[in-house]
Amino acid sequence: TGPVTLAVIPGDGIGQEVTAEALKVLEVASPAGVTFEQTRYDLGAERYLATGEVLPDTVLGEIREHDAILLGAVGGKPNDPNLPPGILERGLLLRLRFELDHYVNLRPSRIFPGVTSPLSRDVLGDDEVDFVVVREGTEGPYTGNGGALRVGTPAEVATEVSVNTAYGVERVVRDAFARAEKRPRKKLTLVHKTNVLVHAGAVWWRLTQQVAAEHPDVTVDYMHIDAAMIHMTTNPQRFDVIVTDNLFGDIITDLAGAISGGIGLAASGNINPDRTAPSMFEPVHGSAPDIAGQQIADPTAAILSTALLLDHLGHPEAAARIEDAVLADLAERGTARRRTPEVGDAVAKRVAG
Ligand code: NAD
Ligand code: IPM
Ligand code: MN
- By most ligand atoms within 8 Å of CB, the mutation choice from 142, 250, 282 for ligand 2 is 250
CB 177 within 8 A of CB 218: yes
Query: What's residue 82's pLDDT?
Result: 96
- Compute the distance from residue 284 Cα to the ligand 3 centre, in Å: 6
Is 349 a residue of the active site? Answer: no
Q: For residue 23, how many other CB atoms are within 10 A of its CB?
A: 21
Helix (H, G, I), strand (E, B) or coil at 272: coil
Longest dimension (CA), the chain: 65
Q: Rounded to whole angstroms, how far apart are CA atoms 45 and 77?
A: 8
Is the CB of 94 inside a 6 Å radius of any atom of ligand 2? yes
Determine the atom of ligand 2 nearest the C-alpha atom of 253.
Answer: 10
122 labelled binding-site residue: no
Query: What's residue 254's pLDDT?
Result: 98
Query: What's residue 126's pLDDT?
Result: 87
Q: Rounded to whole angstroms, how far apart are CA atoms 171 and 167?
A: 6
CB 245 within 8 A of CB 197: no
Query: What's residue 196's pLDDT?
Result: 98
Is the CB of 106 inside a 6 Å radius of any atom of ligand 2? no
Is 311 a residue of the active site? Answer: no
- By most ligand atoms within 8 Å of CB, the mutation choice from 89, 263, 337 for ligand 1 is 263
The C-alpha torsion from 315 through 44 and 109 to 63, rounded to 10°, is -30
Is the CB of 141 inside a 6 Å radius of any atom of ligand 1? no
Is the CB of 254 inside a 6 Å radius of any atom of ligand 2? no
Query: What's residue 242's pLDDT?
Result: 99
Query: What's residue 334's pLDDT?
Result: 76
Pairing of strands 279-283, 267-271: antiparallel
Query: What's residue 2's pLDDT?
Result: 85
Alpha helices in 43-156 (DSSP H): 45-51, 57-64, 87-88, 95-99, 121-124
CB 95 within 8 A of CB 63: no
Is the CB of 253 inside a 6 Å radius of any atom of ligand 1? no
296 labelled binding-site residue: yes
Is 274 a residue of the active site? Answer: no
Choose, from 130, 142, 175, 245, the residue flagged as catalytic: 142
Please give the backbone phi and psi of residue 160, each rounded to the nearest 5 degrees, phi first: -130, 105
Closest ligand to the CA of 102: 2
- By most ligand atoms within 8 Å of CB, the mutation choice from 19, 79, 287 for ligand 1 is 287
Per-residue pLDDT of the chain (353 residues; tens, 9 = 90+): 789 999 999 999 999 999 999 999 999 999 888 999 999 999 999 999 999 999 999 999 999 999 999 999 999 999 999 999 999 999 999 999 999 999 999 999 999 998 999 999 888 988 999 999 999 999 999 999 999 999 999 999 999 999 999 999 999 999 999 999 999 999 999 999 999 999 999 999 999 999 999 999 999 999 999 999 999 999 999 999 999 999 999 999 999 999 999 999 999 999 999 999 999 999 999 999 999 999 999 999 999 999 999 999 999 999 999 999 999 999 998 768 899 999 999 999 999 98
Choose, from 193, 240, 245, 329, the residue flagged as catalytic: 193
Helix (H, G, I), strand (E, B) or coil at 312: helix
Choose, from 222, 254, 345, 349, the residue flagged as catalytic: 254
- Name 32's Cβ contacts closer than 8 Å, sequence gap at least 6: none
Query: What's residue 121's pLDDT?
Result: 87
- Compute the distance from residue 73 Cα to the ligand 3 centre, in Å: 11
Q: Rounded to whole angstroms, how far apart are CA atoms 236 and 276?
A: 35
Query: What's residue 101's pLDDT?
Result: 98
Determine the atom of ligand 1 nearest the C-alpha atom of 71.
Answer: 40
Nearest to 281 by CA among 3, 88, 26: 26
